[in-house]
Structure 1
């Protein structure tokens, strides 16, 4: 039999650490509502032992039908989930449509925690979109600025903070969010959003290759339809019927996957776009 390149893990190594992110820090963008995916991701990371910085942009949510949440209430909810008594939660605002904001946000996290290991780019622009007949240059530019440009600038600023660390420094993780725009019938009613989320899916492998020598993995997650409070009535029921389980995804469904991708167990997974859709039928 061929000899394994490395020895098999010991029994002790196979036992799962209940706090696999102890001592690490995470930035979760768009963590502004307790009903949202960002909040669920932050709670999972905190439960795994990480310190977490929550980014929010309240004016965006205030302009949406679902309305804004209180940032302090979101932060308190994440604090309740902290698994490591030495970990902390901090939060702050930022308009990521401003090209200077991504670097400022990364610097703020460094000032708060002294390091940054995990970047989850969860934010996105809602509204300001339409069909191919409806869209205009302003809509396209708005989604480009928030959904794509700011994400790439966040990754750039994050990677620069890791450049001086030894290659084998554990914990370098980037998780992007896409929307399954390349599956089934696409998103013909949200052309600008689908275009920019598709760009993130497309660039995932390129980013993973660019950052491999810094010990950083880069993956994207498509959470599928998740019930974050925006769907009601007949539309809500019709979408639920397209899941084999008969229910929408809930924020903690993709959060469990994203938190696992942040651990050392997922260290050999990079450059992937992973669908977490519960078998959703398009």
Structure 2
């Protein structure tokens, strides 16, 4: 008989806009473990990026997510929201509670990406990237704490960083600054929520093939990876799927690295 260690728990996974993305794999993994999952997306962001939005649209992305789940898995619902709006994070948490009656897990996998180096840097892009990546994640955590029934087991917050501390990323300054901020705030959030039996951790997935890299970049990075390949979204989902079960209950305030040894070569 299949086991569902997250049966009875509810999760919010942000950034589920593309089938090739990490958030899609995480949502699939958590639902496959039995959790009911609210998948958040904001398709216009991807449409503005070089890799583009999912060619079949976010509605198909959600239907594909449901189709992949085994019998007996958790339910999947969807909400679209732009975290540039300061009211959006609380609304998305509230939508999770409205859909499933509770919230236990937040995986803040959304990210605004921008390619601005020092010469191109603008105040507008800095403000927007911080608003989406940092403010959005903090306000998600705040609302989670405000509405969650802390007598329930399994409280988890998972943030994302990007390995910017391993080496220079001079052409992505707003993104680097925001991801560094999330890594640094993790321990403080963990300290705030530990008395309520909620863990807060940050994940560094390293280079993951989600369709954004050029062929030249893909070949160059693969050649530097100790295991000879890029990470896959499922590699990150494996870690998070374990971390949010009861097996991960004693880990908090940490940045967990799942990068195939990428940091060893930096």
| TM beyond 0.5 | yes
Residues 167-186 of structure 1: pairs in structure 2 closer than 5 A: 169-183=152-166, 185-186=167-168
Q: Where do 5+ consecutive residues of structure 2 fail to align? A: none
Q: Which residue of 2 aligns with 1:198?
A: 180
CA contact (8 A) 1:180 1:186 kept: no
If each structure's helix is expressed as a fraction of its own residues, which one has the higher value? 2
Distance 1:84 1:50 in 2: 13
Number of equivalences: 262
- 1:131 Cα deviation from its structure 2 partner: 1.6
Q: Which residue of 1 aligns with 2:134?
A: 148
For the aligned residue pairs, the C-alpha RMSD in angstroms reads 1.6
2:30 equivalent to 1:30: no
CA contact (8 A) 1:44 1:81 kept: no
Q: Which residue of 2 aligns with 1:11?
A: none
What secondary structure, in the 3-state scheme, does the structure 2 residue paired with 1:274 have? strand
Distance 2:73 2:159 in 1: 27
Q: Which residue of 1 aligns with 2:192?
A: 210
Match of 1:73 among 57, 60, 64: 60
What secondary structure, in the 3-state scheme, does the structure 1 residue paired with 2:164 have? coil
**Dislocated runs of 4+, deviation >4 Å:** none
Q: Where do 5+ consecutive residues of structure 1 fail to align? A: 1-16
Residues 1-282 of structure 1: pairs in structure 2 closer than 5 A: 18-69=3-54, 70-83=57-70, 85=72, 87-127=74-114, 129-162=115-148, 164-166=149-151, 169-183=152-166, 185-280=167-262, 281-282=265-266
What secondary structure, in the 3-state scheme, does the structure 2 residue paired with 1:102 have? helix
Per-residue CA distance 1:120-161 (angstroms, 9 max, x = gap): 00001122x412232121121111101100100000001111
What secondary structure, in the 3-state scheme, does the structure 2 residue paired with 1:182 have? helix
- 1:18 Cα deviation from its structure 2 partner: 2.6
Per-residue CA distance 1:192-233 (angstroms, 9 max, x = gap): 111110000000000001001111100000000101101122
Q: Which residue of 2 aligns with 1:3?
A: none
| Bigger radius of gyration | 1
What secondary structure, in the 3-state scheme, does the structure 2 residue paired with 1:104 have? helix
Q: Compared with structure 1, are the counterparts of its residues 233 and 86 closer, same or farther at alpha carbon in structure 2 (3 Å cutoff)?
A: closer
What secondary structure, in the 3-state scheme, does the structure 2 residue paired with 1:224 have? coil
Distance 2:25 2:186 in 1: 23
What secondary structure, in the 3-state scheme, does the structure 2 residue paired with 1:119 have? strand
CA contact (8 A) 2:150 2:197 kept: no
Distance 2:51 2:172 in 1: 18
- 1:84 Cα deviation from its structure 2 partner: 6.0
Per-residue CA distance 1:180-199 (angstroms, 9 max, x = gap): 1111x232211111111000
Q: Compared with structure 1, are the counterparts of its residues 153 and 194 closer, same or farther at alpha carbon in structure 2 (3 Å cutoff)?
A: same
- 1:61 Cα deviation from its structure 2 partner: 1.0
CA contact (8 A) 1:49 1:84 kept: no
Per-residue CA distance 1:239-270 (angstroms, 9 max, x = gap): 11111121111111111101111100000000
